[in-house]
Chain A
Amino acid sequence: EVQLVESGGGLVQPGRSLRLSCTASGFTFGDYAMSWVRQAPGKGLEWVGFIRSKAYGGTTEYAASVKGRFTISRDDSKSIAYLQMNSLKTEDTAVYYCTRGLAVFDPWGQGTLVTVSS
């Protein structure tokens, strides 16, 4: 069974950093691009960014709202994708989902809540 499990969320002060992890199982992780999508409380879905597989250079793309502050990386040996979030703002408060793919997203993890507040 394909499974994605996010971890690392929590309460953080504005301006601080946080790193989220997405642990994958049930498929050959290194063959796939991985994406992050977030959802602010009571709001819709917002694409955050993705990282391509190593076969496609392992390059990354980001939404304008997080570019320069967030970094996505991957460790194929551990089947983990990371989202490093720096200079966090209150508007970054959201549930962060990890999902497989860079265009069509399937499946999704259960999400991890990040709350940015003083």
Chain B
Amino acid sequence: EIVLTQSPGTLSLSPGERATLSCRASQSVSSSYLAWYQQKPGQAPRLLIYGASSRATGIPDRFSGSGSGTDFTLTISRLEPEDFAVYYCQQYGSSPPNTFGQGTRLEIK
């Protein structure tokens, strides 16, 4: 089973700043089958990125994904107030099982 480790656990930034979230896999994720989800308090997760770098429908272009192999990054170019949430990475290259990272909390500084 592939284990995903996200860092940092909590990221404190201000609106307008750039956010960089990391997701590291315990072994290579085949074909860059990695997704990112956003979850706000009391809400269901929402798909942001799939295939490591493809934005889901309706996702603003300030969100971008990159990486391959074992190291992946979600970048939010300029933070909006609505972007403060918890972010999860998920691999589906070695499935089942699908596995999620433990999450990064992005909070307002």
Residues on A close to B: CB < 8 A? 35, 37, 44-47, 49-50, 61-64, 97, 102-111
**B47-A45 in contact (CB<8A):** no
Contact of A47 among B37, B43, B97 (CB under 8 A): B97
Q: Which residue of B lies closest to A62 (CB)?
A: B96
Interface: B100 (CB within 8 A): yes
Q: Hey, which chain B residues are within 8 Å of A107, CB to CB?
A: 44, 46-47
Q: Is B92 an interface residue (CB 8 A)?
A: yes
Contact count A vs B, C-beta below 8 Å: 58
* Known contacts A44-B88, A44-B103, A45-B88; is-contact A103 B98 (Cβ 8 Å): yes
- Which residues on the B side are within 8 Å of A61 (C-beta)? 96-97
Q: Which residue of A lies closest to B44 (CB)?
A: A108
User: Could you jot down 22 A-B contacts, CB within 8 Å?
Assistant: A35-B98, A44-B103, A45-B37, A47-B96, A47-B97, A47-B98, A47-B99, A50-B96, A61-B96, A63-B97, A102-B98, A104-B92, A105-B37, A105-B45, A106-B47, A106-B50, A106-B56, A107-B44, A107-B46, A108-B44, A108-B45, A110-B43
